[in-house]
């Protein structure tokens, strides 16, 4: 490192240290190959605790009141329910086999779980702890999302390459939208007007108009020095104001910043190896991205679009969820 | 749910391809031949009799699961000939029964006879023969290959060895014709990537290595100064007895030891675990490279059926628009110049996937996967009419 870059690097560290979030966030990270959860203190950006969970933990999500964390323990065939305050596993939910990702209904009552090996979406009542419905999907259901108004639950099937639309008011699957190869993740915009779906092998993000279920735009990405077929979008997150989308580009080792009106890719930020998923702090200031292969978390300053720190966690970090 | 179906049908017609017709049933055939395998010294692993076939079955099942949403059904007709069966006659019979997509899991000579008997509008997927000449002088316009050929495998291995700077190779060749073909591919790779074959010896296999490997192999490998021992023993007759017995402490690679392969049970990234689990549940055993090749062929047809609404599937499969997610981290497609499926190749040890080629640093102006095997400028195939 030259003197100049050293100076620049320390300058970045100094500014970021000053602008570190004042509020105490807690960042939860599932480590797929360690059967653990890393807990990061967001004020210091250090791992403060590592706790044992079920086998092959992948998707994790918080209840709207941030009191409960749900953990997909894929190889334990269960969803674990953790009390955020005490960090103790309270109980397990029946989830169907091999749960991978899930989404909560807006009232926190129902958990929609994709059962990757069984081509099923299982709906679990978090109160009665019972399975209340199951839906047949295409092969390898993965991405799950529930619209903010609760009307739609969608699932993406990775080998069938479709988005399956469940109308929650009728309790039936009513439509399917064909998307790019290997759809990994789905995310409703905050106004529920559009659904963004990433296609890992197709290398695109499809923007689907929710009322018509039709694709209205396909976003492509290019990263300097990276072959096009290594640009593989996975996680998608929207910022607090619904103006910019952050898209994790997998083995391209970058997170793209996309203008949500023009669909223009404005920036690509260098992170760790094979970036999977992200979450953004409730104040919208920081994004945390999990890097599967390098086994760390990249901390992104959202406003300045800068990666300010990487935090070593367990092996193959997968899901990220942030509680205030 | 007739109402729901109607709505779904309408939505898909609008979304996908207005004006095209439905195809209710997409038929595939699997054609193979019983192979009488010669006895081998290392008889620990029993060769599965349904190798290849189970891959085709899984591919068709995968297609059918998607087809439910598109009103498409998929069927597989399975034809397994006896050892001396007439592949050409079987192919003609499949053609007259209306089949237009055949997964051929045959040795090279039977495959050539079968393809000669196939009508031009039938698409044949070679899922069983790794022979290089099938992608070269013996290529056909209606023949695609989902199994990697020997040149691809050797290049995958060569890239890794060169990257490790293990560039002095000692080549040990078995007595069978396929071993000679494998050795030819290794020599081509050495030339291509600047490695050097410093010694070559033919194994004539007169002794029972389980008893005498400790005395025979050190003597056999003594002398040359080399980095790795590259073995060409496709049926696995003696190669398993070379590791840890060489005169000098050297790794063994090739058909045994570190092995380049189209698929292996150690492949788990890129969602491969799900495919491995599905296969295990269906077949009760692990998935092999031949199974994978048959699976990929079936899936290619399924993908075309989905994307074209069962329109001109054969044309779509061979078009630039075609891409198949094959659990190897890159979109797979067929090379226009010789019909070979471009795909990453795993380098596998018994219980460890060491790496996957194309190896980082081997660059290509269009697609890095085309650094493996026959690239366009070097093809001997004239299927594009060049």
How does pLDDT run across B69-124, given as a tens digit for each residue?
999 999 999 999 999 899 999 999 999 999 999 999 999 999 999 999 999 999 99
Same domain, A203 and A313: no
Burial label, B113 (beta-carbon count in 10 A; 0-12, 13-18, 19+): middle
Closest-approach residue (CA) in chain A for B366: A227
* pLDDT tens track, chain A, 324 positions: 344 444 444 444 444 444 555 568 999 999 999 999 999 999 999 999 999 999 999 999 999 999 999 999 999 999 999 999 999 999 999 988 889 899 999 999 999 999 988 899 999 999 999 999 999 999 999 999 999 999 999 999 999 999 999 999 999 999 999 999 999 999 999 999 999 999 999 999 999 999 999 999 999 999 998 888 899 999 999 999 999 999 999 999 999 999 999 999 999 999 999 999 999 999 999 999 999 999 999 999 999 999 999 999 999 999 999 999
Residue of chain A whose alpha carbon sits nearest to that of B344: A229
One domain for residues A209 and A238: no
Residues A209 and A82 occupy one common structural domain: yes
Specify the DSSP element, H or E, that contains A10. helix A3-18
Query: A289 and A320 in contact (C-beta within 8 Å)?
Result: yes
Under 8 Å CB pairs connecting chains A and B tally to: 84
Q: What is the pLDDT of residue B209?
A: 64
Min Cα–Cα distance to chain B from A83, Å: 30
Written out in words, the top-level CATH class of the domain with range B151-261 is alpha beta
Q: Would the CB atoms of A138 and B69 count as touching at under 8 Å?
A: yes
Residues A110 and A202 in one domain: yes
Order of strands across the sheet that contains A162-167: A141-146, A152-157, A162-167, A172-178
Q: Which of A156, A183, A229, A249 to mutate to test the interface with B (most CBs of B within 10 A)?
A: A229
Domain-embedded: residue A133 = yes
Please give the residue that has the higher pLDDT: either A241 or B43: A241
Q: What is the pLDDT of residue A11?
A: 42
Number of domains present in the structure of chain A = 2
| Minimum-distance CB partner of B15 among A160, A174, A214 | A214
Measured in angstroms, the CA of A116 and the nearest CA of chain B are apart by: 8
Cβ of A181 within 8 Å of Cβ of B323? The answer is yes
Q: What's the start-to-end Cα distance of chain B, in Å? A: 53
- Using alpha carbons, select from A318, A320, A299, A301 the residue that is nearest to residue A310: A299
In this structure, the number of other CB atoms found within 10 A of the CB of residue B363 comes to: 9
Question: Are residues A133 and A174 both part of a single domain?
Answer: yes
Looking at A186, A220, A254, the residue that finishes a domain is A220
Query: Do A189 and A243 belong to one domain?
Result: no
- Dihedral sign (CA B126, B132, B134, B140): positive
Q: Choose one of A201, A220, A239: the last residue of a domain.
A: A220
Query: Which pLDDT score is estimated for B300?
Result: 98
Q: ipTM more than 0.85?
A: no
Residue of B nearest to A174 (CA): B4
Rounded Cα distance between B284 and B267, Å, is: 17
**Residue B213's pLDDT is what?**
77
Identify the domain containing residue A251 by its residue range: 13-28+227-324
The answer as to whether A45 is a domain residue is no
Q: pLDDT by residue (tens digit) across B225-234? A: 999 999 999 9
pLDDT attached to residue A118: 87
For residue A8, being part of any structural domain is answered with no
Residue B223, φ and ψ in degrees, nearest 5: 125, -75
- State residue A10's pLDDT score: 44
Whether A212 and A77 map to the same domain: the answer is yes
The label of the residue with tokens 């290049």 reads: B155
List chain A residues with CB under 8 Å of B329.
Answer: 232, 251
Check which CATH number belongs to the domain holding A320 and give it: 2.130.10.10
Nearest to B306 among A164, A178, A227 (CB): A178
Q: Is residue A4 in some structural domain?
A: no
* Domain endpoint, select from A197, A220, A243: A220
Q: Which sign, positive or negative, has the C-alpha torsion B152, B156, B162, B166?
A: negative
For chain A, report the end-to-end CA distance as a whole number of angstroms. 37
Per-residue model confidence (pLDDT) at position B18 = 37
How far does the CA of residue A256 sit from the closest CA of chain B (Å)?
20
- Whether A165 and A291 map to the same domain: the answer is no
Residue A283's nearest CA partner among A6, A43, A10 is: A43
Does residue A145 sit within a domain?
A: yes
Measured CB to CB, residues of chain A less than 8 Å from chain B are: 98, 116-117, 119, 136, 138-140, 157-162, 164, 172-178, 181-182, 200-203, 213-215, 227, 229-230, 232, 251
Do A284 and A160 share a structural domain? no
Nearest to A229 among B16, B271, B330 (CB): B330
Burial call A147-185: b when 16+ CB within 10 Å, e when fewer: beeeebbbbbbbbbbbbbbbebeeeebbbbbbbbbbbbb
- The closest alpha carbon to B292, from B151, B147, B157, belongs to B147
Q: Is there a domain that residue A237 lies in?
A: yes
Contact residues, chain A, for B1 at CB < 8 Å: 172
Contact A202 B331 (CB under 8 A): yes
- The answer to whether the Cβ–Cβ distance between A215 and B15 falls below 8 Å is yes
Please indicate whether, in this complex, the C-beta atoms of B367 and A229 are within 8 angstroms of each other: yes
Instruction: Identify the contact set of chain B against chain A, taking CB-CB distances under 8 A.
Output: 1, 4, 7-8, 11-12, 14-16, 62, 65-66, 68-69, 271, 274, 277-278, 281, 306-307, 323-325, 329-331, 367-368
Question: Residue B207's pLDDT band (boundaries 50, 70, 90)?
Answer: low
Distance (Å) of CA B292 to CA A67, B103, B123, B327: 45, 12, 18, 10
Residue A39 domain-assigned?
no
A207 in the same domain as A235: no
Closest CA to A308 of A279, A263, A254, A269: A269
Name chain B contacts of A157, Cβ cutoff 8 Å: 66
Asked whether B112 and B60 are in contact (CB, 8 A), the reply is no
Give the architecture (CATH level 2) of B2-148+264-343.
3-Layer(aba) Sandwich (3.40)
Is B368 in Cβ contact with A138 (below 8 Å)?
A: no
Q: pLDDT band for position B41 (50/70/90)?
A: low
Question: Quick one: A76 and A115 in the same domain?
Answer: yes
**Of A185-199, B145-159, B353-367, the least confident:** B353-367
Check residues B15 and B29 and name the one with the higher pLDDT. Answer: B29
Ordered by start, the domain boundaries in chain B are: 2-148+264-343, 151-261
A227 contacts on B by Cβ (under 8 Å): 367-368
One domain, residues A287 and A215: no
DSSP A250: B
A77 φψ region: left (φ > 0), alpha (ψ -120 to 50), beta (else): left
Least confident of A154-158, B52-56, B66-70: B66-70
Are residues B16 and A202, on separate chains, in Cβ contact within 8 Å? no
Residue A3 lies in a domain: no
Q: Would you say the C-alpha torsion B94, B99, B105, B110 has a positive or negative sign? A: positive
User: Looking at residue A313, what DSSP letter applies?
Assistant: -
Query: In this structure, how many other beta carbons lie within 10 angstroms of the beta carbon of residue A189?
Result: 17
Closest CA to B26 of B266, B228, B292, B309: B309
């Amino acid at each position: 490192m030259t003197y100049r870059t050293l100076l620049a690097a320390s300058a970045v560290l100094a500014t970021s240290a000053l602008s570190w979030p004042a509020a105490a966030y807690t960042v939860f990270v599932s480590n797929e190959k360690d059967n653990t959860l890393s807990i990061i203190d967001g004020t210091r950006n250090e791992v403060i605790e590592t706790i044992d969970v079920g086998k092959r933990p992948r998707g994790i999500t918080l209840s709207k009141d941030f009191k409960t964390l749900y953990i997909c323990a894929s190889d334990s065939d269960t969803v674990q329910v953790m009390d955020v305050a005490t960090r103790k596993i309270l109980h397990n939910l029946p989830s169907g086999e091999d749960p991978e990702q899930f989404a909560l209904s807006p009232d926190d009552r129902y958990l929609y779980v994709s059962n990757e090996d069984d081509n099923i979406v299982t709906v679990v009542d978090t109160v009665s702890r019972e399975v209340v419905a199951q839906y047949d999907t295409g092969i390898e259901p993965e991405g799950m999302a529930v619209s903010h108004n609760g009307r739609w639950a969608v699932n993406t099937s990775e080998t069938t390459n479709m988005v399956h639309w469940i109308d929650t008011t009728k309790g039936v699957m009513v439509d399917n939208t064909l998307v790019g190869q290997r759809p990994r993740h789905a995310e409703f915009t905050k106004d529920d007007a559009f659904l963004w779906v990433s296609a890992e092998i197709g290398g695109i993000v499809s923007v689907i108009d929710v009322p018509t279920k039709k694709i209205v735009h396909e976003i492509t990405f290019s990263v300097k020095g990276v072959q096009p077929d290594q640009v593989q979008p996975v996680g998608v997150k929207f910022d607090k104001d619904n103006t910019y989308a952050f898209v994790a580009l997998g083995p391209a080792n970058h997170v793209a910043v996309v203008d949500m009106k023009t669909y223009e890719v404005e920036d690509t930020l260098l992170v760790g190896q094979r970036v999977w998923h992200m979450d953004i702090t409730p104040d919208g200031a920081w994004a945390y991205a999990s890097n599967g292969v390098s086994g760390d978390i990249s901390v992104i300053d959202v406003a300045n679009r800068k990666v300010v720190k990487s935090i070593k966690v367990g092996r193959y970090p997968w899901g990220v969820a942030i509680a205030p | 749910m007739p109402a729901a179906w109607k709505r779904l049908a309408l939505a898909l017609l609008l979304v996908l391809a207005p004006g095209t017709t439905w195809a209710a049933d997409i038929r595939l055939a699997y054609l193979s031949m019983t192979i009488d395998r010669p006895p081998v010294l290392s008889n620990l692993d029993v060769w599965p009799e349904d190798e290849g076939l189970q891959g085709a079955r899984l591919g068709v099942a995968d297609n059918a699961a998607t087809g439910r949403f598109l009103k498409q059904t998929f069927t597989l007709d399975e034809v397994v000939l006896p050892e001396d069966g007439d592949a050409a006659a079987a192919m003609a019979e499949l053609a007259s029964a209306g089949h237009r997509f055949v997964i051929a899991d045959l040795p090279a000579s039977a495959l050539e006879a079968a393809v000669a008997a196939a009508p031009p509008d039938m698409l044949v997927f070679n899922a069983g023969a790794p022979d290089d000449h099938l992608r070269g002088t013996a290529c056909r316009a209606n023949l695609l290959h989902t199994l990697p050929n020997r040149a691809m495998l050797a290049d995958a291995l060569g890239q890794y060895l060169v990257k490790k700077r293990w560039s002095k190779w000692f080549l040990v060749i078995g007595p069978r014709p396929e071993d000679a073909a494998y050795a030819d591919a290794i020599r081509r790779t050495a030339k291509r990537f600047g490695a050097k074959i410093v010694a070559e010896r033919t194994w004539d296999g007169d002794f029972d290595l389980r008893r005498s490997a400790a005395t025979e192999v050190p003597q056999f490998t003594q002398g040359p100064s080399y980095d790795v021992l590259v073995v060409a023993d496709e049926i696995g007759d003696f190669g398993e007895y070379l590791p840890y017995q060489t005169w000098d402490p050297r790794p063994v690679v090739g058909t045994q030891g570190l092995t380049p392969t189209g698929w292996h049970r150690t492949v788990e990234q890129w969602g491969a675990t799900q495919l491995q689990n599905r296969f295990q549940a269906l077949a009760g055993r692990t998935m092999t490279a031949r199974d994978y090749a048959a699976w990929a062929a079936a899936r290619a047809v399924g993908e075309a059926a989905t994307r074209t609404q069962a329109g001109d599937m054969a044309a779509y499969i061979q078009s630039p628009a075609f891409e198949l997610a094959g659990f190897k981290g890159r979109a797979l497609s067929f090379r226009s110049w010789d019909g070979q499926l471009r795909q990453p190749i795993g380098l596998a040890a018994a219980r460890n996937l060491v790496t996957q080629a194309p190896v980082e640093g081997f660059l290509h102006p269009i697609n890095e996967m085309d650094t493996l095997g026959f690239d366009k400028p070097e093809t001997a195939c004239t299927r594009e009419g060049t």
